[in-house]
């Protein structure tokens, strides 16, 4: 079983890659910037999802590798501590959407041939902050991008259902990462273990689901 995970050098992505490899899966993981640590069972490839041609170039290099699972995990959160009256610059909107939304779509679009060949599944890491039901103010750019990722996943689920390709959207929990902070509720290991169980359970019957890392359905 071959799994491709984007944004896997740290945090949730790295925990997902390590746990999947420990389960005996062949993991293809992407990184941006410095060379990643060599971890048994993980095949690393560079990918900048903000490069419009990046996902397609990587797909071409991996064209002979059917995928059982594609996990779109790469994401950024730029606006911590910003103030409504003076912050949230246009460049932060553009950069965040390039990673959290456009990058997700281009990755899925580029790797659809491999997912089809592997009769695989697609998982999108969104957030509870993308839900209309958990609006608590602030973090406007991140919330909007994760809401867009949620909407993207829901609509992809509709279009790919006829091919038998399930698409799931997931809230990974409030995780102790650089993004989540030290006071978050769960560790990357806990998040990864739960998410991998969710991916395993994903089927065409549950396609379009929005679920928490621990299996609870999340309101849209």
Which domain CATH number covers 92? Answer: 3.40.50.720
Look at residue 34 and tell me if it is in a domain. Answer: yes
Name the pLDDT band for 81 (thresholds 50, 70, 90).
Answer: confident
Look at residue 220 and tell me if it is in a domain. Answer: no
Look at residue 39 and tell me if it is in a domain. Answer: yes
d(CA 136, CA 209): 23
User: What's the rounded mean pLDDT across residues 91-115?
Assistant: 98
Look at residue 152 and tell me if it is in a domain. Answer: yes
Look at residue 218 and tell me if it is in a domain. Answer: no
- Per residue in 134-182, pLDDT (tens digit) is 888 899 999 999 999 999 999 999 999 999 999 999 999 878 876 666 6
4: nearest Cα among 56, 61, 97, 69: 69
Q: Which residues pair with 87 in a beta bridge?
A: none
**Whole-prediction pTM value?**
0.95
Look at residue 219 and tell me if it is in a domain. Answer: no
User: What's the rounded mean pLDDT across residues 127-138?
Assistant: 87
Number of structural domains in the chain: 1
Look at residue 217 and tell me if it is in a domain. Answer: no
The residue range of the domain holding 11 is: 2-212
What is the reported pLDDT for 70? 98
Question: Contact, 124 vs 153, CB < 8 A?
Answer: yes
Residue 155 neighbours by CB under 8 Å, 6+ apart: none
């Amino acid at each position: 079983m071959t799994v491709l995970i984007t944004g896997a050098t740290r945090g949730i992505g790295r925990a997902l890659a390590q746990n999947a490899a420990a389960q005996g899966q062949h993991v293809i993981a992407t990184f941006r910037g410095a060379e990643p640590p060599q971890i048994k069972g993980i095949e690393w490839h560079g990918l900048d999802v903000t490069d419009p041609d990046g996902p397609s170039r990587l797909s071409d290099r991996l064209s002979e590798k059917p995928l059982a699972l594609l996990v779109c995990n790469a994401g950024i959160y730029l606006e911590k501590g910003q103030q409504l009256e003076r912050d949230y610059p246009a460049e932060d909107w553009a950069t965040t959407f390039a990673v959290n939304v456009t990058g997700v779509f281009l990755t899925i679009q580029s790797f659809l041939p491999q997912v089809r060949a592997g009769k695989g599944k697609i998982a999108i890491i969104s957030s509870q902050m993308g839900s209309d039901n958990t609006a608590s103010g602030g973090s406007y750019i991140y919330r909007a991008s994760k809401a867009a990722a949620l909407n993207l996943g829901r609509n992809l689920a509709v279009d790919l259902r006829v091919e038998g390709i399930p698409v799931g959207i997931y809230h990974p929990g409030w995780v102790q990462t650089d993004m989540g902070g030290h006071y978050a509720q769960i560790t990357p290991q806990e998040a990864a273990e739960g998410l991998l169980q969710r991916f395993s359970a994903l089927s065409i019957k549950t396609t379009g689901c929005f679920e928490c890392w621990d299996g609870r359905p999340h309101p849209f």
